[in-house]
Structure 1
Amino acid sequence: MEGFSAALAIAIVLAAFALFVVVKTAVVVPQQNAYVVERLGKFYSVLDAGFHLLVPFMDAIRYRHTLKEQALDIPEQICITRDNVQVGVDGVLYLKVLDPQRASYGINDYYYAISQLAQTTLRSEIGKIELDRTFEERSNINGAVVSELDKATGPWGIKVLRYEIKNITPPRDVLAAMEKQMRAEREKRAVILTSEGERDAAINTAEGKKQQVIKESEAERQRQINEAEGQAQAILAIARATGEGLREVASAIRSEGGVEAVQLRVAEQYVEQFGNLARTTNTVILPATLSDVGSMIAAATNVLRSATPPVRSTTVAARPPPPPSPGRPPAGP
Structure 2
Amino acid sequence: MLRRALTNQITRQQFRFYRVNRSNTVINFVPQQEAWVVERFGKFHCVLDPGISVLFPIVDKIAYAHNLKEVAQDIPSQTAVTMDNVTVSMDGVLFYRVVDPYKASYGVENYGYAMQQLAQTTMRAEIGHLPLDRIFSERAQLNAKIVQVINDSTVKAWGIESLRYEILEKGDIHLPQSVMQAMQGQATAERKKRASILESEGERQGAINLAQGQRESIILKSEAEKMEQINKAVGEAEAIKAKATAVAQSIQMISEAIKHENAQKAISLLVADKYMDAFSNLAQKGTTLMLPTSVHDPSSMIAQAINIFDTLTTKRKDMKSIEASNEDKKPEPEK
TM-score, scaled to structure 1: 0.62
Are 2:165 and 1:169 aligned?
Answer: no
1:256: how far off?
3.4
d(CA) in 1 for partners of 2:181, 2:141: 26
Are 2:220 and 1:207 aligned?
Answer: no
Give the 3 Å change call, closer, same or farther, for CA 133–44 of structure 1 in structure 2: closer
Are 2:308 and 1:308 aligned?
Answer: no
d(CA) in 2 for partners of 1:261, 1:30: 140
Show the counterpart of 2:126: 125
Are 2:262 and 1:256 aligned?
Answer: yes
1:190: how far off?
4.9
Give the 3 Å change call, closer, same or farther, for CA 294–72 of structure 1 in structure 2: closer
The residue type paired with residue 26 of structure 1 is T
RMSD over aligned CA atoms reads 4.4
1:261: how far off?
8.1
Tell whether the 8 Å contact from 1:91 to 1:163 is kept in structure 2 after alignment: no
Equivalent pairs, count = 276
The residue type paired with residue 153 of structure 1 is T
- Once the two structures are superposed, what CA deviation does each residue of 1:11-59 show, in whole Å capped at 9, x if it has no partner? xxxxxxxxxxxx97637565214255474xx43545636564532xx77
Q: Tell me, what secondary structure is at the counterpart of 1:54?
A: coil
Q: Could you tell me which runs of 5 or more consecutive residues in structure 1 were left unpaired when the two chains were aligned.
A: 1-22, 278-285, 313-333
1:109: how far off?
2.9
Show the counterpart of 1:241: 246
1:91: how far off?
1.8
Show the counterpart of 1:84: 85
d(CA) in 1 for partners of 2:270, 2:147: 129
1:186: how far off?
4.6
d(CA) in 2 for partners of 1:105, 1:265: 140
Q: Tell me, what secondary structure is at the counterpart of 2:129?
A: coil
Show the counterpart of 1:74: 75
d(CA) in 1 for partners of 2:70, 2:54: 23
Give the 3 Å change call, closer, same or farther, for CA 213–253 of structure 1 in structure 2: farther
- Once the two structures are superposed, what CA deviation does each residue of 1:68-90 show, in whole Å capped at 9, x if it has no partner? 33222211111211122222222
Show the counterpart of 1:54: 57
Q: Which has the larger radius of gyration?
A: 1
Q: Tell me, what secondary structure is at the counterpart of 1:103?
A: helix
1:240: how far off?
4.1
Q: Tell me, what secondary structure is at the counterpart of 2:314?
A: coil
Tell whether the 8 Å contact from 1:254 to 1:308 is kept in structure 2 after alignment: no
1:135: how far off?
3.1
1:169: how far off?
1.0
Tell whether the 8 Å contact from 1:37 to 1:60 is kept in structure 2 after alignment: yes
Show the counterpart of 1:109: 110
- Once the two structures are superposed, what CA deviation does each residue of 1:275-299 show, in whole Å capped at 9, x if it has no partner? xx9xxxxxxxx99888765664454
The residue type paired with residue 114 of structure 1 is M
Equivalent residue for 2:227, pick from 209, 222, 226: 222
Tell whether the 8 Å contact from 1:35 to 1:63 is kept in structure 2 after alignment: yes
1:198: how far off?
4.9
Show the counterpart of 1:138: 139
Are 2:39 and 1:34 aligned?
Answer: no
d(CA) in 2 for partners of 1:116, 1:43: 29
The residue type paired with residue 163 of structure 2 is R
1:304: how far off?
0.9
1:146: how far off?
2.6
Tell whether the 8 Å contact from 2:102 to 2:159 is kept in structure 1 after alignment: no
Give the 3 Å change call, closer, same or farther, for CA 33–303 of structure 1 in structure 2: same
Q: Tell me, what secondary structure is at the counterpart of 1:90?
A: strand
TM-score, scaled to structure 2: 0.62
1:104: how far off?
3.9
